[in-house]
Amino acid sequence: MNALTLQQDGEGWRLCLNGDWSLASIGKIDRELEALPGSMLGTLICDWSRAEQPGIAPVWLLLKRLSALGAGESPASRLRVHHEGVPPPTVGLLRKLASDRSAAQSAPPTTMPAIEVAIGDLGLWAVQEGTAARGVLAFFGRIAAVFGQIFSRPRALRLPSIARHIYEAGITAIPIVALIAFLISVVVAYLGAQQLRKFGADIFVVDLVTIGVLREMGVLLTAIIVAGRSGSAFAAEIGVMQLNDEVDALRAMGLNPVELLVVPRVLALVIALPLLTVIADAMGLAGGALLSLLELHIPPAQFTVRLHEALSPTTFWAGLVKAPVFGLLIGVVGAYRGMQVRESARELGRLTTVAVVQSIFQVILADALFAILFQKIDF
Amino acid sequence: MADDTPPPVVRVHGLVSRFGAQLVHNGLDLEVRPNDVFGIVGGSGSGKSVLLRTILGLRRPQGGTIELYGRDILKLSRPERLDLVQSCAVTFQSGALISSLNIAQNIQLPLREYHPMREEALDELAQLNLRLVGLPPDAAAKYPAQLSGGMIKRAALARALSLEPKLLFLDEPTSGLDPISAAAFDELLLYLHAELRLTVVMITHDLDSLLRTCNRVGVIVEGRMITDTLAGIMQNSHPWIHDYFHGPRAHAAEKAAHG
């Protein structure tokens, strides 16, 4: 059954509303309303007697459609509408709403030439980038200021907070860091063994694994895992605090959120990352030793001897010295992105993602710079 | 006489809610009749919001039954539950608008889900609901973060009304509003109650609002509920209820309501 039937009635029109007129049939009602002819003139009688349970939304669409077809209250309008049958009380409500002009109509959207829009967007982008760059600089400045204060006011160094973050970012990361370092070095040793065996140079697998793990892989893997775990956690924690106005509350109490929230996290990573790296190095060497034993039948004693021959005194330090720098980068990026969160949950998700991606990128970039530097100074 | 009273819309019987060792509701009974504006009152921590969440089925109680329109909500199948959910609506204390959607999209969210229709029709209905709650048309394109507290409460109400519910739950609808906005919200509620024939259950701390809008009141004391008409509850001799309705702040509100 149609929700609407339109009949010519003398010199006017008669619109019968049939069947279910509740919200549940709104899709159907809307389609039939759209199909009403635009050529109606004179008087239109709306017959409500067979409409069941008329809901506000369908009735609203009907009235809107009728007024789009030229219906009005005044005698001068093209189409004069009379409601017949038992008009539901909602019709009165809706007519009142529809005729209520006190609610200001929204201004029509102004259209601009495409070229102006493009130039405007470019300008906006440039300004935003500039502001963002200044924001990063200011953030570093605030962190540096807190570090400066530590000397005159030791309380600015929040030891309990630092300890908590070392526990969360460092100690709880030990199992995953150890496991991944172990597995990756097994993989590298296996690959190396396959290739070097062709030349009868099996023993150099030890060189490959030990130098690879100590110089690069141990610290890099650790940093990437920590960026994924703690960089995201920092951004999310601080971001939620921003959304709850907790950061503003700290400021209003005269406390420095950078001192309370950012510096302890950054310092915790600077401390925890080298320690995690040592564990990753040890597990990596263990993995290499295990594979050498199983695959190449190099006993651990021989592995150790070869290890000492392969390593220069600086190899271990060349890896470890990078760890605090990576920790600093991950901590600062994570906390900075967290502080940037404003307004919405979507923003929080976006900035958490940005924090992880950027901190991993910066770690790898820094690693490349270290490689060049160590090359130059022959470290 | 008992046969004349219509069956209750909400019926809670012997509700027990417990958080660990803490007993919040201890055999709470509640009945809301059709077309009531029912106010729920109680001290902070007396379990008003817990009661609301339990009635809505967001929290499983430790004991008791909850019936909406005579159906036990704890024993509903999924389709029955969906059906029931569409006939009652709720506004949360903080508005709980989805922050990544603008106001029009927030209002359209349940409509889009349950009643597929053209985009133009959806836009019309967003405008309808904005008007129903007295928001300007240009609020449609704004995001929740761009609105004031009062506008968020109204927008949340607009979203709640979009499915044309028969039963409306409000959690502190006037908290955080200035007296003028709060009074306007009361009028809006009365208007919608009269025009849309809604049954309203609202938690409120706002005595002015309670006196202005509610015809029946339930007070949660010691884990149980004492229900009476507004006039009856004000004569109640329970010390907490007496203090609530006859404290220094209450007199001003009462005077304002009747003066």
Span B211-250, pLDDT tens digits: 888 989 999 988 888 888 888 888 888 888 888 888 777 7
> What rounded mean pLDDT belongs to chain B?
85
Taking the CA of residue A7 and the nearest CA in chain B, the distance in Å comes to 25
Contact B128 A104 (CB under 8 A): no
Contact B117 A344 (CB under 8 A): no
A51: number of Cβ within 10 Å: 24
Contact B164 A105 (CB under 8 A): no
pLDDT of residue A228: 94
Q: Is A240 on the interface with B (CB under 8 A)?
A: no
Strands A4-9, A12-17: pairing is antiparallel
Q: Tell me which chain A residues have a C-beta less than 8 angstroms from the C-beta of B116.
A: 27
Which architecture does CATH list for B10-258?
3-Layer(aba) Sandwich (3.40)
Which residues are CB-contacts of A250 (< 8 A; sequence separation ≥ 6)? A256, A257, A260, A261
pLDDT for A111 beyond 60: yes
Least confident of A5-14, A174-183, A186-195, B16-25: A5-14
Query: Domain segments of chain B: what residues?
Result: 10-258
pLDDT of residue A333: 93
Residue with the bigger pLDDT between B105 and B258: it is B105
Q: Is A26 on the interface with B (CB under 8 A)?
A: yes
pLDDT of residue A74: 64
- Bridge partners of residue A236, in order along the sequence: none
Does ipTM surpass 0.95 in this model? no
pLDDT for A99 beyond 70: no
Cα angle, residue B71 at apex, residues B82 and B31 outer, rounded to 5°: 115
Cα separation of B87 and B251, whole Å? Answer: 37
Q: Which residue of A has its CA nearest to B145?
A: A343
Q: Which residue of A has its CA nearest to B112?
A: A27
Q: Which residues from B are below 8 Å from A when comparing CB atoms?
A: 99-100, 111, 115-118, 121, 124-125, 128, 131-132, 134, 136-138, 140-141, 143-145, 162-164, 195-196
Share of chain A above pLDDT 70, in %: 92
- Bridge partners of residue B71, in order along the sequence: B68
Mean pLDDT of A194-202: 88
Please give the model's pTM, rounded to 2 decimal places: 0.72
Q: Which residue of A has its CA nearest to B125?
A: A57
pLDDT of residue A102: 43
Q: Is A346 on the interface with B (CB under 8 A)?
A: yes
Q: Which pLDDT tens digit goes with each residue over A233-255?
A: 999 999 999 988 899 888 888 88
Which residues are CB-contacts of A291 (< 8 A; sequence separation ≥ 6)? A185, A186, A189, A190, A193, A205, A209
pLDDT for A267 beyond 80: yes
Of the residues B35, B83, B164, B190, the best mutation for testing chain A's interface (the one with the most A CB atoms within 10 Å of its CB) is B164
Q: Which residue of B has its CA nearest to A342?
A: B145
What domains are defined for chain A?
Answer: 4-99 (3.30.750.24), 158-377 (no CATH)
Mean pLDDT of A101-114: 59
Q: How many A-B residue pairs are in contact by the CB < 8 A criterion?
A: 70
Q: Which pLDDT tens digit goes with each residue over A3-49?
A: 888 888 777 888 888 888 888 888 888 888 888 887 777 788 888 88
Mean pLDDT of A259-275: 94
Angle formed by the axes of helices A174-197 and A263-296, nearest 10°: 40
pLDDT of residue B177: 80
Q: Tell me which chain B residues have a C-beta less than 8 angstroms from the C-beta of A240.
A: none
| 8 Å CB contact between B18 and B60 | no
- Output the 3-class SS for chain A: CCCEEEEEECCEEEEEECEECCHHHHHHHHHHHHCCCCCCCEEEEEECCCEECCCHHHHHHHHHHHHHCCEECCCCCCEEEEEECCCCHHHHHHHHHHHCCCCCCCCCCCCCCHHHHHHHHHHHHHHHHHHHHHHHHHHHHHHHHHHHHHHHCHHHCCHHHHHHHHHHHCHHHHHHHHHHHHHHHHHHHHHHHHHHHCCCCCCHHHHHHHHHHHHHHHHHHHHHHHHHHHHHHHHHHHHHHHHCCHHHHHHHCCCCHHHHHHHHHHHHHHHHHHHHHHHHHHHHHHHHHHHHHHHHCCCHHHHHHHHHHHCCCCHHHHHHCHHHHHHHHHHHHHHHHHHHCCCCHHHHHHHHHHHHHHHHHHHHHHHHHHHHHHHHHCC
pLDDT of residue A119: 93
Q: Tell me which chain B residues have a C-beta less than 8 angstroms from the C-beta of A61.
A: 121, 124-125
Q: Which of A55, A57, A103 sits opposite B137 (nearest CB)?
A: A103
> What rounded mean pLDDT belongs to chain A?
87
pLDDT of residue A106: 46
Q: Which pLDDT tens digit goes with each residue over A317-360?
A: 999 999 999 999 999 999 999 999 987 888 899 999 999 999 99
